[in-house]
Amino acid sequence: ISSAASDVYKRQADFIVSLERGYGELCDQIAREARAEKVPIIRPETASFLQTMTAAAAPKAILEVGTAVGYSALLMAQAMPEGCRITTIEKYEKRIPKAKEHFRLAGMEDRITLLEGDAGQILSELSGSFDLVFMDAAKGQYIHWLPDVLRLLSKGGMLISDNVLQDDTILESRFAIERRDRTIHSRMREYLFQLKNHKDLITSIVPIGDGVTISIKK
């Protein structure tokens, strides 16, 4: 991307964020602390997009892969219908207590269930049906988790995947990528190809934040 195009994108993102009214005292505090501590949470311009998609999907059940400190789960909880429940998965032990505390402070303990452990294993053993799935964990594993995610996604359900453009490095040739990053680069490209070409999915790639895909299961 040229420096001029990059500057335009940054100005657009800054303008979008400038219009935000915030998400309540607790969520705004969680976001500030997470960014100060370098905890990976969704970008500011992606937050309202996630809420809007949650409201549009009107889900009865939500599955989130990658809880971190609970920020995105609480954003979805603000927009989900009454009676909807969230199941969220997190592996990193140091973040789990913080997420649980945030759910407690938000009064969402009864509506958000946190499953602790490896997402691949948990997904393979999980049953039920989810109307909305939000993927925001180890980006190199998206392609491996996709079969179970699609099994769990209801017909007409929505799959949202975050960070798919990887700071625009996904646009580069594999050989322009540092050797240590080539595996995740090739896996994400394969993931995007699968989403766009899967016979059971209708997918759009949205260049907001670090790139988001919206897939609807036929």
170 confidence band (pLDDT: 50, 70, 90): low
Give me 54's structure tokens: 């949650």
- Residue that wins the pLDDT comparison between 172 and 203: 203
Q: What is the pLDDT of residue 171?
A: 55
- Identify how many contiguous H helices and E strands the chain contains and give both numbers: 8, 7
For residues 111 and 86, is the Cβ–Cβ distance under 8 A?
yes
Average pLDDT of the chain to the nearest whole number: 90
Per residue in 129-166, pLDDT (tens digit) is 999 999 999 888 999 999 999 999 999 999 999 988 86
Q: In three state form, how does the secondary structure of 150-173 look?
A: HHHEEEEEEEEEECCCHHHHHHCC
Inform me whether the pLDDT recorded for 169 exceeds 60: no
Instruction: Round to whole Å and give the CA distance between 55 and 100.
Output: 24
* Percent of the chain surpassing pLDDT 90: 72
- Residue that wins the pLDDT comparison between 113 and 3: 113
